């Protein structure tokens, strides 16, 4: 009798926070410096003791206080930017409405989407000759394409060995981007879930059974449909592949943009083949109209029935019409952003699970909430040479810090010893041929009103905590968080190196 393989466990390294002096963030250093300079200036001018102490007290509160679990000094730059936008009345935006007699269409986008362009490109080798919808981000100098993917729906029900095998295949699909001189700068995974009900399904059944006599079996089936209606949800997974124009080697007779689009099409084709080998169902690349529909639906789920009807229209089927890209109105607040008829709030995965977890550790966060939400994971491929340099640098830093603490008579904390072990394990994995990807997680929750959103916020944070994830709201960055949840290749996640 063969032995049952032991379930594999996965670990997440702690986020290494670096600053100008060791682990001191620049914002904290600036805050304390301003407080000390302010107090010293008050002493020089002979101010009363209260005025001398005031800058030091305020600096201490800003430097060491917290709001919503985040340091106040880290929020100050975002607060200043948000206040400046409000002062200039740029936190609210409305689309201008042109007259029908105008010969030129008005292409207007809110500031968070400014610089994006969508168009279709015919690349014969991409997806068997399918049309490729391309999102061009002019400010970032990048182009992106989107794939719709789906699993077999059995991952959560499979045993540990099958889950581990699927994770390995997913890792191999991503590893194809981790090579020297790769053009792909980012792969973004969007898992969108929204309660949909069964109205469309019942309408379809009634139209099919209109001329047939009613039977007990039919009544039983309709009763079953009504029973599951409150818990029915729609899941959709999109993968966005982004190519950086600066990483593409320009070909003779072609512009850098045209070369980047061609490289994007080839990367999409190869990535689709790797995903199919991993057992993932891959649809053809989304066209520009489909990308627009996806962004509009995620921005305001109440538009889904109208957009579905528009897609089925004769004009849309013939390719002569597409939904308008971008919303009609955006109003950004401190802790949420309203887009048309929906309100969004985005959290950042500030801390991943500290303990080792099984392959299905994210199931609770993905399936445990009955709400409209998007889980976004941003992957940045790292070239092997850069991984080697990074691990050498971190290993030297950890060992030097431990030796310095021991020499000065300070104890080496358990968290420091754990970080040193993780660096050693990381070095061993790199030596064994594994590749690295930097990653960041975001979750965006959508609701019709702020009150409903506030009620859902507690559920989201508690569900994430049960999965071992610490969430932090993106205060003063909610518009950027909303855009990061859309399949347009734009994100606020950045790899910050010391």
What's the rounded Cα separation, in Å, for the pair 46 and 54?
A: 14
432 closest CA partner among 444, 442, 424 = 424
What's the rounded Cα separation, in Å, for the pair 210 and 352?
A: 53
CB atoms within 10 A of CB 358: 14
H or E, element range at 55: helix 49-64
Of the pLDDT bands very low, low, confident and very high (cuts 50, 70, 90), residue 1 is very low
Convert the pLDDT of each residue in 439-455 to its tens digit: 999 999 999 999 999 99
Percent of the chain with pLDDT strictly greater than 70: 81
Convert the pLDDT of each residue in 40-90 to its tens digit: 888 888 888 888 788 888 878 877 787 766 777 777 777 777 777 777 777
Q: Which of 2-16, 71-85, 259-273, 338-352 has the least mean pLDDT?
A: 2-16
Quick one: average pLDDT of 388-394?
Answer: 86
Q: Which two tokens stand for residue 400?
A: 């030097």
Convert the pLDDT of each residue in 144-180 to its tens digit: 999 999 987 777 778 888 888 888 999 999 999 998 9
Convert the pLDDT of each residue in 193-215 to its tens digit: 987 655 555 566 666 666 667 77
CA distances from 454 to 179, 364, 459, 460 (A): 43, 20, 9, 10
Convert the pLDDT of each residue in 256-272 to its tens digit: 888 999 999 999 999 99
Q: 3-state class of 83 per DSSP? A: helix
State the Cα angle at 45 between 41 and 49, rounded to 5°: 80
CA distances from 459 to 192, 346, 369, 475, 491 (A): 17, 14, 8, 19, 25
Q: Which two tokens stand for residue 161?
A: 């060995």
């Amino acid at each position: 009798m063969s032995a049952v393989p032991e379930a594999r466990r996965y670990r997440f390294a702690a986020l290494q926070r670096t600053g100008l002096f060791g682990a001191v963030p620049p914002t904290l250093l600036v805050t304390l410096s301003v407080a000390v300079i302010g107090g010293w200036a008050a002493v020089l001018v002979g101010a009363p003791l209260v005025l001398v102490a005031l800058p030091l007290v305020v600096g201490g509160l800003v430097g060491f206080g917290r709001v919503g679990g985040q340091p106040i000094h880290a929020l100050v730059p975002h607060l200043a930017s948000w206040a400046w936008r409000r002062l200039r009345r740029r936190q609210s935006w409305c689309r201008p409405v042109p007259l029908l007699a105008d010969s030129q269409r008005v292409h207007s986008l809110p500031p968070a989407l400014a610089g994006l362009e969508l168009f279709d490109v015919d690349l014969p080798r991409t997806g068997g000759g399918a049309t490729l919808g391309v999102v061009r981000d002019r400010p970032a100098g990048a182009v992106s394409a989107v794939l719709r993917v789906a699993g077999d729906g059995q991952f959560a029900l499979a045993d540990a060995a099958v889950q581990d095998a699927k994770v390995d295949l997913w890792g191999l699909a991503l590893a194809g981007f981790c090579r020297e001189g790769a053009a792909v700068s980012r792969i973004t995974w969007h898992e969108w879930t929204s309660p949909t009900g069964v109205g469309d399904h019942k309408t379809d059944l009634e139209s099919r059974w209109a001329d047939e006599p009613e039977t007990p079996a039919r009544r039983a089936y309709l009763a079953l449909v009504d029973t599951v209606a409150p818990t029915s949800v729609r899941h959709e997974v999109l993968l966005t592949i982004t190519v950086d124009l600066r990483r593409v080697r320009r070909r003779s007779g072609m512009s850098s943009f045209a070369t980047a689009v061609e490289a994007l099409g080839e990367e999409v084709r190869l990535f689709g083949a790797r995903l199919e080998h991993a057992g993932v169902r891959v649809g053809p690349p989304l066209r520009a109209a489909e990308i627009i529909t996806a962004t509009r639906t995620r921005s305001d789920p109440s538009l889904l029935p109208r957009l579905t009807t528009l897609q089925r229209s004769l004009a849309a089927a013939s390719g002569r019409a597409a939904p308008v890209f971008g919303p009609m109105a955006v109003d950004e607040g401190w802790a949420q952003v309203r887009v048309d008829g929906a309100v969004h709030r985005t959290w950042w995965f500030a801390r991943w699970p500290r303990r080792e977890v099984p392959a299905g550790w994210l199931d609770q966060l993905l399936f445990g909430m009955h709400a409209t939400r998007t889980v976004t994971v941003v992957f940045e491929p790292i070239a092997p040479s850069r991984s080697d340099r990074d691990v050498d640098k971190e290993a030297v830093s950890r060992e030097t810090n431990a030796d310095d603490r021991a020499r000065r008579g300070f104890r080496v904390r358990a968290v420091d010893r754990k970080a040193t072990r993780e660096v050693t394990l990381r070095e061993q994995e790199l030596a064994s041929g594994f590749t690295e990807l930097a990653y960041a997680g975001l979750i965006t929750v959508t609701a019709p009103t702020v009150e409903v959103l506030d009620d859902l916020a507690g559920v989201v944070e508690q569900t994430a905590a049960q999965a071992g994830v610490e969430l932090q709201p993106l205060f003063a960055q909610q518009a950027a968080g909303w855009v990061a949840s859309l399949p347009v290749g734009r994100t606020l996640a950045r790899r910050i190196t010391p």
